[in-house]
Structure 1
Amino acid sequence: MEQEAEPVGFVAARAAALSRAPYVLAVLASLLLGGCGGGSTPTAPREPTSPAAGASTSPPTSAAPTGVPELQDGAVTPGRYRFAVLNTCDVDCPADKRPALPTLEVTVPAGWTAATEVVSLFPVQGRDTASPNDPALALGWTNWWVRLNSQPCSQVSHQETDSPVGPTVDDFVDAVAAHPLIDTTEPRPVKLGKYGGTFFSLLGPKDLSDCYEWRPWEPAPYVQGPANRWDLWVMDVDGVRVVIMTQYFPETPAAIKAELRAMAESVRFAPGRSQAEATS
């Protein structure tokens, strides 16, 4: 059963630009609503929109002190970009206990579009006509606060989670791997630059006909269709658990899968910023 995107309250112009990608809308809904219990009934996304003919899609020229430009919304000119990791904790997370957040850098090839409010990169429209929904790279949301769903197949949106998880990489990976209803590959150590973590894949169900949505934990998206695969780099960045995720389908072209993995493996983290700096 193909999932529908959930309504989210952000600027209409931004919604129009992103409405072609159910995945990124689902991520945004998760980031905004994660852990808040049931949500409203999903509605179908609006029709895709395309840049006006002749419109510039070049990234801005503003740059960090390192000279790496900031990732901006829209079609991305190939190159290396920086992105501020977001704090996705909105429950049981007092401001004085929120960790300093890192930034990251990622190398983006040709043919990708950025949606920074939903921390995602996805193929430009028309690149992948085989997959039921857009494959995507989710750029490093923090989930130092997270709870699993003992039953991921839910009849409501954003069901109340019932399985708390500790703050470390091992806490999260061990809990997911031990979950009887979540199918994963064997976790293995991984490094992105100087930071270590764990890599594993989540293999989504082939049959979603009994599920309104299938969401393994909060904050997280739900699986985007039958046999949706998530490759997860769960990283310890100076004590902050940060997740880089690629998601795709058996039908996704091999070239796009390879680009997703190359982008994920190109990620490097910069030192964390304070909460005030992150929100200024």
Structure 2
Amino acid sequence: MNLEKLATEQRNQKTMNLDEMSVCDILQTMNAEDRSVPESISKVIPTIEQLVTATITSMKKGGRLIYVGAGTSGRLGVLDAAECPPTFGVSPHLVIGVIAGGQKAFTEAVEGAEDSKEAGKQDLEKLQLSKNDVVIGIAASGRTPYVIGALQYANEIGAMTGSISCNESAAISQYAAHAIEVVTGHEVLTGSTRLKAGTAQKLILNMISTTTMIGLGKVYQNLMVDVQTTNEKLHHRAKGIISQATGVDVDEAAFYFEKAHGNVKAAIVMALTNMSYEEALVRLDKSEGFVRKAIQR
């Protein structure tokens, strides 16, 4: 495996005496190391841009965004996918997190699950992968067989592929049309890639899913206009969004919210154009769900 050659597996010279440090020194050292992560990501933004652009194109054709990973990387993919429905009002089947070992692996380590290329392929077969889908393999080491197997299968199907690794010349990069290699360096705790590498992966996943959803019309200005009002807090948030987007007071925002049957986008269009609910829905449909376009039309 030659793990010792991977930057994420090598010892950090700044923390050789980690077990002798005071609590304060450990915390300050970790904080200082973490500050290097955004800078590392800034160097690969052009590649992230290419992957996001390709993802938006594929999803407009009816494709899905599928994250594939093992261990920490897999859990981060599942987490990002799980946050998309409540934040952007999308189906839970539109952004999917696939983790080696299945759902159980999210809370418990499933030994050996990441070592099978065939398992990666099989898990995507279960999802009935299509050429319109986007598969993003996530592996801090960049060599996880499960992820490689999934990417190989995705390429066979003709799906768009991307990868996120934290080492240069990562093995999974060979199987991705858009390979993101964000080099986060040696971990504070040797080999513990849930630290800087995990932080980098989380930040990049935030960027991919959020920017993709903006590109699909799920955001107006900087507001979550497709938020799902599934509890009292989100009902209040939805009315606040309508108020902020239109300039009306909270009571009037509540009025439009009710008239729009809880559809925040329609309520905003109604408030800004004096349209009926039905007219607002037609306008939004013609504008592919983009509130700004619906208003401008």
The answer, yes or no, to whether TM exceeds 0.5 is no
Q: What is the TM-score when the length of structure 2 is the normalising length?
A: 0.24
Q: What is the TM-score when the length of structure 1 is the normalising length?
A: 0.25
Q: Which has the higher helix share?
A: 2
Q: Which has the higher strand share?
A: 1
